[in-house]
Structure 1
Amino acid sequence: MASLPVTWVDVFASGPLSGNPVAVVHDADDLPDEALAAFARWTNLSETTFLLRPRGPGADYRVRIFTPAEELPFAGHPTLGTAHAWVEAGGVAAHEGVVVQECGVGLVEVAVTGGSADRAFRAPDLLRSGPVDAETLARAVASLRVDPEDVLRAAWIDNGPGWLGLQLRDARTVLALEPDFAAMTGLELGVIGVHDAAEADRIGADHEVRAFCPGFSVPEDPVTGSLNAGFAVWLVGEGVLPASYVVRQGTAMGRDGRVHVRRDAAGALWVGGSTRTVAAGHVDL
């Protein structure tokens, strides 16, 4: 049995305990796959990550990302939380201000300049993009129990978890959803809707996002970096959304997450938010 450091990080929070937690296990190189999967099931978090030595040049560390049910090639809030935990534990990046993470989709850059409220990852390329076939779209809309006329756009925005994205009429429509998760089985659905100007000014967020993943332990994810990255690649790329905006997510679950999206001068899209250590210790695996 190995005793390894573990860090619990709250990611994308707007205040104490209002974001999405991730458990980060350090120095996990010698753990068998069965132990990684078992610990992820035990934490029952959206994702649990394991820090390992990189396998090739160009990366500062390697990470494996597990839900309670499966391993993912990429996920957003675990990327920020893992980078936070690695830096906090004394990790020094090869390039100042930018950590390079190796994961299933390849190398992902994470900006770590400034304080822990300034973490942001560079949105990876989509593994699947483009139009959704009529049958899949009809099933998605039916599972959301939403009027088809309230769906403005739909596209595959999969950067690892398998997201299908829908832009809905407005944030009120997003918040009012009461999905049929049984009908949604086999789909990972993300929805986004714009807040009216007065509400956006009041809450400090331009859009509302929800992420539905019935195959995971919890059918709705509190705050989702990968989904927001997918939306940005799709909707900023098509000129539907501006180059910089803020998303609120987790409202329907009693959370209050904030995700900041920006496109830099070179055209890269960055997805960021706060990261904060909530608990740290050791775990026996």
Structure 2
Amino acid sequence: MPLIRYKQLDVFAARHGGGNPLGVVIDASGWSDVRMQRFAHWTNLVETTFLMPARAAGAGYLARIFTPTKEIPFAGHPTIGSAHAALDAGLVQPDATGIVWQECGAGVLPIRVEGDGTARELFVQAPKARIVGDASCGGETLSAVLYGVKPGTLAPACVEGGRRWWIAEFADEAELRGWRPDHAAIRALALATDTLGLCVFARSAEGLAVRAFPAGVGIVEDPASGAANGLIAAYIAERDSTGTLARGYVVSQGREVGHDARIIIRIDGGAVWVGGRTNTIIDGSVDWQDL
């Protein structure tokens, strides 16, 4: 079996090691589903993606996204990281409008390319989101998770768009960063409401400070959440359409778990774009044999 190109990336990173790690197998066209899942389990990263020729018209390539236990249709940092790897590998080039088109389980998504080299930033248009429930849908379980928290301007809500999360605003950044959540209660909320878990945010000098707890998939705290931040942005655009954040902002995430992610949000005519910078940390090849 020939060696296959492989990259390990740091996505949404304000500095090296600050973002969310991602493994990318550059040419997985000959890999079976079982082989991809075995490799994703072995890397033990939050997600590993596998690039192959597109199936859908208009797409430049297909990215399949695997957690250590299953394939998922969409997630933010694997989408941005896959585009970074595809561009670097020469699999795709931006069109005349600066867009590359990536196929994934959520469809064919536009990814905007700005700048080049180490200064390049990529932005994905997040799947359209909608509010599917208010705090009453979370019941006593949500109340238990947020017990003692001083709320912000916007009321908690369940938002769906590619993924489904509970979202809640804290009154200030200091309380958000110092919060010690009950992770068992967040997991109970996720399982009871068929969501990934809870994202909390507070307004900051740059825009937002965010923390994400995807307990529904067994993760305690995520250092950089592209899809979740897309849902927060859609929620803000709908519920606070004339506020200072309504056109976009910068997110700080991950400091509480030793990271320092910087995620850029742009809101344009109802469309939410989620982006930032990606660093290539490991660039080599993989030798992965079938069973």
Q: Same fold (TM over 0.5)?
A: yes
TM-score, with length taken from structure 1? 0.89
Aligned to 1:99: 100
> Residue 125 of structure 1 is aligned with which of 119, 124, 128?
128
Structure 1 residue 251: Cα displacement: 1.1
Structure 1 residue 137: Cα displacement: 4.6
Aligned to 2:198: 189
Is the contact between residue 114 and residue 120 of structure 2 (CA under 8 Å) also seen in structure 1?
no
Is the contact between residue 29 and residue 52 of structure 2 (CA under 8 Å) also seen in structure 1?
yes
**Farther-moved stretch of structure 1 (157-166 vs 129-138):** 129-138
> Residue 252 of structure 1 is aligned with which of 240, 249, 256?
256
Aligned to 1:277: 280
> Residue 247 of structure 2 is aligned with which of 224, 243, 246?
243
* AA of the residue aligned to 1:120: F
Instruction: Answer yes or no: is 1:210 the counterpart of 2:219.
Output: no
Find the residue that maps to 1:27 and give its secondary structure: coil
Q: Deviations over 1:212-254 (max 9, x none)?
A: 0124353111011001111111112331532121110001001
Find the residue that maps to 2:63 and give its secondary structure: strand
Structure 1 residue 149: Cα displacement: 4.8
Find the residue that maps to 2:78 and give its secondary structure: helix
- The CA distance in 1 between the partners of 2:170 and 2:276, in whole Å, is 24
- The CA distance in 1 between the partners of 2:70 and 2:217, in whole Å, is 9
Structure 1 residue 78: Cα displacement: 0.8
Percent of residue pairs bearing the same amino acid type: 39
**Farther-moved stretch of structure 1 (267-276 vs 17-26):** 267-276
Structure 1 residue 148: Cα displacement: 6.6
Find the residue that maps to 2:134 and give its secondary structure: coil
Aligned to 1:136: 138
Aligned to 2:110: 109
Find the residue that maps to 1:226 and give its secondary structure: helix
Aligned to 1:220: 221
Alpha-carbon spacing, 1:44–1:143, altered in 2? closer, same or farther (3 Å): farther
Q: 1:38-49 alignment to 2 at 5 Å?
A: 38-49=38-49
Aligned to 2:89: 89
TM-score, with length taken from structure 2? 0.87
Q: Deviations over 1:122-181 (max 9, x none)?
A: 12112x523235252531342355437568412222223321211222222221222222
Alpha-carbon spacing, 1:35–1:146, altered in 2? closer, same or farther (3 Å): farther
Aligned to 1:153: 155
RMSD: 2.1
Alpha-carbon spacing, 1:138–1:170, altered in 2? closer, same or farther (3 Å): farther
Q: Deviations over 1:9-64 (max 9, x none)?
A: 11111112111111111111221212212222222212111112111211111111
* AA of the residue aligned to 2:227: S
Find the residue that maps to 2:233 and give its secondary structure: helix
> Residue 172 of structure 1 is aligned with which of 153, 168, 174?
174
* AA of the residue aligned to 1:236: A
Aligned to 2:266: 262
Structure 2 unaligned blocks of 5 or more: none
Find the residue that maps to 1:153 and give its secondary structure: coil
Find the residue that maps to 1:228 and give its secondary structure: helix
- The CA distance in 1 between the partners of 2:94 and 2:153, in whole Å, is 45
Is the contact between residue 125 and residue 274 of structure 2 (CA under 8 Å) also seen in structure 1?
yes
Is the contact between residue 144 and residue 178 of structure 1 (CA under 8 Å) also seen in structure 2?
no
Structure 1 residue 259: Cα displacement: 0.8
Is the contact between residue 145 and residue 179 of structure 1 (CA under 8 Å) also seen in structure 2?
no
- The CA distance in 1 between the partners of 2:141 and 2:255, in whole Å, is 25
Equivalences, count? 275
Aligned to 1:8: 8
* AA of the residue aligned to 1:275: T
**Farther-moved stretch of structure 1 (154-163 vs 105-114):** 154-163
Structure 1 unaligned blocks of 5 or more: none
